Homo-oligomer: A and B are copies of this chain.
Amino acid sequence: MVERRKPIWVKEAIEQVMGYKIRGEKELISIDDCDGRYLAEPLVADHDVPPFDRSPYDGFALRAEDTVQASRDNPLNIRVIDEIGAGQVSNKNVGHMEAVRIMTGAQIPIGADCVIMLELVQEEKSDDGTFIKIKRSLTPGENISFRGEDTIKGSPLINQGVLINPGIKALLATFGYSKVTVGKRPVIGVIATGSELLQPEDELVPGKIRNSNGFMIESQIIRAGGLYKRYGSFADDLEALQNAIETAMAECDVVITTGGVSVGDYDFLPEIYKRIGANLLFNKIAMRPGSVTSCGEKDGKLLFGLSGNPSACYIGFELFVRPIIRYWLRSERPFLRCLQGTLNIDFPKPNPFSRFVRSQLIYKDGKIYAEPVGLDKSGVVTSLAWADCLIVLPGGTRGFQQADQVDILLLDDQQGSEKPWQEAKLSKL
């Protein structure tokens, strides 16, 4: 039977889904394994930075008061009484007309209150010892990085939910996190449906195509920060599919099916939602592509029914599943980052529903442009490979023209957004 479905707004669909958001568990892992993981607790300074008064340069630590008379015409001779490398601490007190040779990062010795850079002095060795000639005066505190001036012990530096990048890994090492508390990755079950699906290793046979959506979603899950569990491809066999979905719902945190959600006769998903007793959140969204995206919930777990169309499937994942994964990983900005830019070509096709167009960002003369990829025939195949953003064209009766200002959702960004993209209610559902 052809079922008539009531579409809901993208915004509303996202809200429905986020009604079931959960913060995942934490786990403690070695700093060596933390790349690409997400902090599950704020990163806190375990000591002042700098941890002691130190020299930012190679040079000589001395007393500013001794240099008051120094000038080009009146160079002063200062005795070098010690020499310390980074990591060493001088046990000498710097007294009147004395200096200690000091390396970048080394602790300022007692008595000294300033540093003169190596390049600015002349060093002279004699039988009487080593001396430096100073030709300018210094002020107290000059060229000293003071303890705690960058960060006070206990300060939170990075929020929970942030992806660990090289800069954050450096902070973890600096502050003694030999073990790091990260978000335990959610396990997302993936089920491909449709009797037309072959595996990559299969030879093509008439009428069939290879399953690519399953692999694509698995890769999107990894990119979003989750783990996938594959339940294979199912032909349109109701019992087998139901079994697989029930197993996946029991074993995983979230389950995704792809295909089998169209309004065609062979669409079993609505029936399966009923059979497993899932609460249907929606089965039609006012968007293109992906209007047949559906989502159900059972015992607090989400079951997404993404379209079998590759672009619709891809976009459905990024709009609805990604924020659930990022929230799970404790992100405070789980949604795709949105920015404004200029449409680089005409897009004349009007549409009653909001359209999400796989696109590429173009930076030109300090401005942001975006251009759909894959509008030409040959680009259809590779459009998802090249897309780094989605242009959002709000639903309405007109098309869009070059130079129109549009919303752009970034796909490769890690900053994210606190709120989802807001659709203008330009059209009546």
Minimal beta-carbon separation of A110 from chain B (angstroms): 12
Q: Is A104 an interface residue (CB 8 A)?
A: yes
Interface pairs (21), CB distance under 8 Å? A36-B222, A51-B209, A58-B262, A58-B264, A83-B265, A85-B265, A87-B197, A88-B196, A104-B264, A165-B223, A169-B218, A169-B219, A170-B314, A171-B382, A171-B385, A173-B214, A175-B210, A176-B210, A339-B363, A341-B366, A412-B414
User: Across the interface, which residues of B come within 8 angstroms of A105, CB to CB?
Assistant: 194, 196, 209, 308
Interface residue? A351 (CB, 8 A): no
A50 to B220, CA, bound (A): 24
The reply on A293 being an interface residue by CB < 8 A is no
User: Are the CB atoms of A150 and B209 closer together than 8 Å?
Assistant: no
Cβ-defined contact, A263 with B118, below 8 A: yes
- Given A83-B265, A170-B219, 17 more contacts at CB 8 Å? A2-B123, A35-B219, A85-B196, A85-B264, A85-B265, A86-B196, A87-B207, A118-B263, A150-B377, A158-B385, A166-B314, A167-B382, A169-B215, A176-B204, A341-B363, A342-B366, A412-B413
A 66-108 binary contact with B (CB < 8 Å = 1; else 0): 0000000000000000010111110000000000010111110
Given the known A-B contacts A47-B204, A176-B210, A196-B106, are A167 and B387 also in contact in the complex, defined by CB atoms under 8 Å?
yes
Complex interface residues of chain A between 366 and 409 (CB less than 8 A to chain B) = 366-368, 377-378, 380-388, 405
Question: Cβ of B209 and Cβ of A174 under 8 Å apart?
Answer: yes
**A103 touching B266, Cβ below 8 Å:** yes
Q: Are B366 and A340 in contact (CB under 8 A)?
A: yes
Knowing A86-B195, A167-B384 are in contact, say whether A150-B378 is a contact too (CB < 8 A). yes
Tell yes or no: A345 within 8 A of B by CB. Answer: no
Nearest 10 pairs of A and B residues by beta carbon: A87-B196, A167-B384, A167-B385, A170-B216, A166-B219, A178-B201, A86-B196, A87-B195, A339-B363, A173-B212
Q: Does A327 contact B (CB under 8 A)?
A: no
Cα of A188 to Cα of B165 in the assembled complex, Å: 18
Given contacts A167-B384, A223-B166, contact A195 B85 (CB under 8 A): yes
Q: What residues of B have a CB within 8 angstroms of the CB of A83 in the complex?
A: 265
Q: Is the CB of A173 within 8 A of B383?
A: no
Query: Contacts of A223 on B, CB cut-off 8 Å?
Result: 35, 165-166
- What chain B residues lie within 8 Å of A215 (beta carbons)? 31, 169-170, 172-173
